[in-house]
Structure 1
Amino acid sequence: MQNGNSAVVRPARREEAADLARLGDMAGHGLPSYFWRHTAEPGQNPMEIGIARAIRDDADFSWRNAAVAEVDGRVAAAVVSYAIGDEPEPLDELGPIMRTLQSLENRALGSHYVNVLAVYPEFRRRGLGRALLEEAERRAGPRRLSLIVEDTNTAARRLYDAFGFRVAAEVPMVKEDWKSDANAWILMERPVSRDFQTAPGGTTL
């Protein structure tokens, strides 16, 4: 798919795992690399952990669940999205930060979750974020969209509001020693596209 800014939206490739890791860390404002640092071996670059995770075939955060916007042959932006199951994930064995985030995901059961949406700074203000949300919506099919955003991320929230997302829940942020200016995580959801809304009797509206 090509948008009006000469960007091509297409499925990600395995060899683009480094871009997915970098953009994933940007989307999470450094929280992913915070976790990667805690699991890295001595002397290991934490970004290697992110790349190894993005290159997996059978995980949620995977190149297989990603799409990129390509501009002039370069990856300019990416989205990673996937279906959340119908059963809540257990929280007992998670650390405080992840327990808070997972508790919000557990409120979005059955949705198509936008885990990562990020644009490299030099490619912003070209409509790439919206184009990738449209790709996530296409992949969602008959599922509603969901995502989690920091309360202070006003630029992203403006995009999500304009795309039809609405606040579904909010919880105070747990930070431990992760540095963030935000105070809360916000779960936002977007209803199912009219293309997939079904009237009684199974007729698509």
Structure 2
Amino acid sequence: MIELDPPFRLARESDAPQLADLVNFAGEGLPLHIWTGLAGAGEDPWEIGRARQAAKAGEGQIVVADFGQGAVAGLTGYRIGPEPESIGADFPPLFRPLQELEKEALDSWYVNVLACYPEHRGKGLGSQLLDIAEEIGRAEGVPRMSVIVASDNTGARRLYERHGYRQTAERPCEKGSWDTETERWVLLMKSL
């Protein structure tokens, strides 16, 4: 991991409540939909999301912005290797277009989650986190960056395009029972 300067730091397991919120913001409600499907009788879907985020934080996979009151923005990402992962016939239809787009982003550092609480937007945190993502990508030796956004998320798309990301592919959104306005997923990439 690269060295981080305040207000940025690696997430801690105690950040899990904020991380679950941020992941759900970035995923436009898809994470909560998934957590709801994973919840058993009497289980709180948010608790499932918090537990998943605590595990990722414990593995050092998330960078957050914290001005002393806890995480207000976050970045999660990972390296996509040079070999495609197979998509089996039993792969959930909701995730198939996302996985197909990831297969087009081989050998890149993938920005999986980039989100900020609404009251902290417009302060440059998204841009700073993208700079950190690119620094991580360079440190890991990948030649490019990648991200998938919902076609109707114009704010996120503008942010990425300001940073040099360009559309390379898209797929239709397979909504299933997920209540969303999203029609298409868009893959954006940038050379490092």
Q: TM-score, normalised by structure 1?
A: 0.85
| 1:10 to 2:23 alignment | no
Kindly provide the amino acid, as one letter, of the partner of residue 96 in structure 1.
P
- Distance in 1, Cα, partners of 2:79 & 2:171: 22
- Distance in 1, Cα, partners of 2:77 & 2:70: 21
1:106-145 equivalences in 2 (<5 Å): 106-141=103-138, 142-143=141-142, 144-145=144-145
- Distance in 2, Cα, partners of 1:41 & 1:63: 26
Larger radius of gyration: 1
Aligned positions, number: 185
- Distance in 1, Cα, partners of 2:59 & 2:14: 9
Structure 1 stretches of at least 4 aligned residues deviating more than 3 Å after TM superposition = none
Aligned twin of 2:43: 44
Aligned twin of 2:83: 87
Q: Aligned Cα RMSD in Å?
A: 1.6
- Distance in 2, Cα, partners of 1:45 & 1:90: 32
Tell me the secondary structure at the aligned position of residue 129 of structure 2. helix
Tell me the secondary structure at the aligned position of residue 26 of structure 1. helix
- Distance in 2, Cα, partners of 1:71 & 1:86: 37
How far 1:63 sits from its partner (Å)? 5.5
* Residues 24, 116 of structure 1: 8 Å contact kept: yes
Which of 93, 99, 104 pairs up with 1:102? 99
Higher relative contact order (CA 8 A, sep 6+): 2
1:30-69 equivalences in 2 (<5 Å): 30-56=29-55, 64-69=60-65
Q: Taking structure 1 as reference, are residues 62 and 23 closer, same or farther at Cα in structure 2, changes over 3 Å only?
A: farther
1:156-175 equivalences in 2 (<5 Å): 156-175=156-175
- Distance in 2, Cα, partners of 1:164 & 1:22: 27
Tell me the secondary structure at the aligned position of residue 55 of structure 2. coil
What percentage of residue pairs aligned between the two structures are identical? 41
Aligned twin of 2:23: 24
Tell me the secondary structure at the aligned position of residue 7 of structure 2. strand
- Distance in 2, Cα, partners of 1:17 & 1:96: 28
Could you list the per-position Cα deviations for residues 129-153 of structure 1 after superposition, in whole angstroms to 9, with x for gaps in the alignment? 0011111111111321111001111
- Distance in 2, Cα, partners of 1:73 & 1:62: 19
Unpaired runs of 5+ residues, structure 1, are 193-205
Tell me the secondary structure at the aligned position of residue 97 of structure 1. coil
Unpaired runs of 5+ residues, structure 2, are none
